[in-house]
Amino acid sequence: MGSGWKTFGFEVAIVVVGVVIALLGNHLVTVMNREAEMEQSMEAIENDLLVALFFFNEREAIEPCRLEQEANLLLRLQEDDEIWRPVLSDSLNADNPITTLPMVLRTPLRPVSTTSWETFAEGESAVYLEREVFSTLSYLFGTIAQMTENGYEIWRLKGRLSHLAVEGAITPLQRREAIAMLGEISALDGVQFVHASQLSDLLDQYEFQTDGRVYEWGATVEEFEQIIPRMFRNLRQTYGECVDPSAYQDFIELYERLSGFDVDDRMLKRGSGP
């Protein structure tokens, strides 16, 4: 009888051990799947952040040009001629096949995707992300979404202001209305610049979890040092010598941090050529 109970107890123990091993195995698989899903999600999220920082720095680089454009237009709107004679910039309207009227003001419209973050934030894996990281990413992408919305509103207002690209009679009231619209555009565009500067600083402190992501940009240091000056040249061709290449310091420093390479920062000198 005692021997039978021992045998039964041994068999039960084997079953229990088997169940525990199975549960541990399932738990391990679950953890591995969750970690893989987390890594995949963070790669997509942090790739969007790299794109965002690139666009933020571009926005900072052309800020002197924006202020110059607005100041010049304001001076002309304060004149008292009864006929409006537009003074248009060929460079600002180069490569612009999408509007019927020429632009009298121009800044970049750069929507950044927030889909990867929004999908992740609504999923189960989000609860396993450190609270501080979650809070930082939530703020970053919330502000990015607001900047995209503001960008479209600025584009719409600039479209309305494009009537100043057409010569014709203009009254003092119409001048005041155009000045009011210019003020609204300037305020919104100023907020865009402030957001771009603040988020650039925040991203400078953010610890990227998928450092290898930068390599997917085809970014050897030699290629990087060729791409950036070419981009400066294109910006200057559009906006003029007012473009400030040093605004890209944040992106270049992040590239160096993620890749481990040193970039020749002489390219960041104001007005430097390729």
Q: Which helix (H) or strand (E) holds 271?
A: none
pLDDT on residue 257:
79
195-250: per-residue pLDDT in tens?
999 999 998 888 887 655 555 555 566 677 777 778 888 888 899 999 998 888 88
**Predicted local distance difference test score (pLDDT) of residue 221:** 65
Please check whether residue 165 is in contact with residue 217, taking contact to mean a CB–CB distance below 8 angstroms. Answer: no
pLDDT per position as a tens digit, 91-139:
888 777 677 889 999 999 999 999 999 998 888 777 778 888 899 999 9
Model pTM score: 0.80
* Element at 54 (helix H, strand E): helix 2-61
Say if 274 falls within a structural domain.
Answer: no
Do residues 204 and 253 make contact, with C-beta atoms less than 8 angstroms apart?
yes
Distances (CA, A) of 194 to 116, 188, 225: 24, 10, 28
pLDDT of residue 50: 87
Using the predicted structure, report yes or no on whether residue 25 has a pLDDT greater than 60.
no
Q: How many domains does the chain have?
A: 1
- Lowest mean pLDDT: which of 7-11, 77-81, 90-94, 270-274? 270-274
3-state secondary structure of 169: strand
* pLDDT for residue 210: 64
The per-residue DSSP string of 62-93 comes to THHHHHHHHHHHHHHHTS--SEE-----TTTT
Domain assignment of residue 24, yes or no: yes
The SS3 of residue 114 is coil
Q: Which residue has the higher pLDDT, 31 or 227?
A: 227
203 falls within a domain: yes
Residue 273, in any domain of the structure: no
* pLDDT tens, residue by residue, 37-64: 777 788 888 889 988 998 999 999 999 9
Whether the pLDDT of residue 4 is over 50: the answer is yes
Q: Does the pLDDT at position 141 exceed 90?
A: yes
Range of the domain at 220: 2-268
Lowest mean pLDDT among 79-88, 140-149, 220-229: 220-229
User: Other C-beta atoms within 10 Å of 195: how many?
Assistant: 17
* Residue 78 located in a structural domain: yes
Whether 165 maps to a domain, the answer reads yes
Residue 262 lies in a domain: yes
Model pLDDT for residues 161-192, shown as the tens digit of each residue: 999 999 999 999 999 999 999 999 999 999 99
Q: Could you report the per-residue pLDDT of 243-273, keeping only the tens digit for each?
A: 998 888 888 888 777 777 777 666 666 445 4
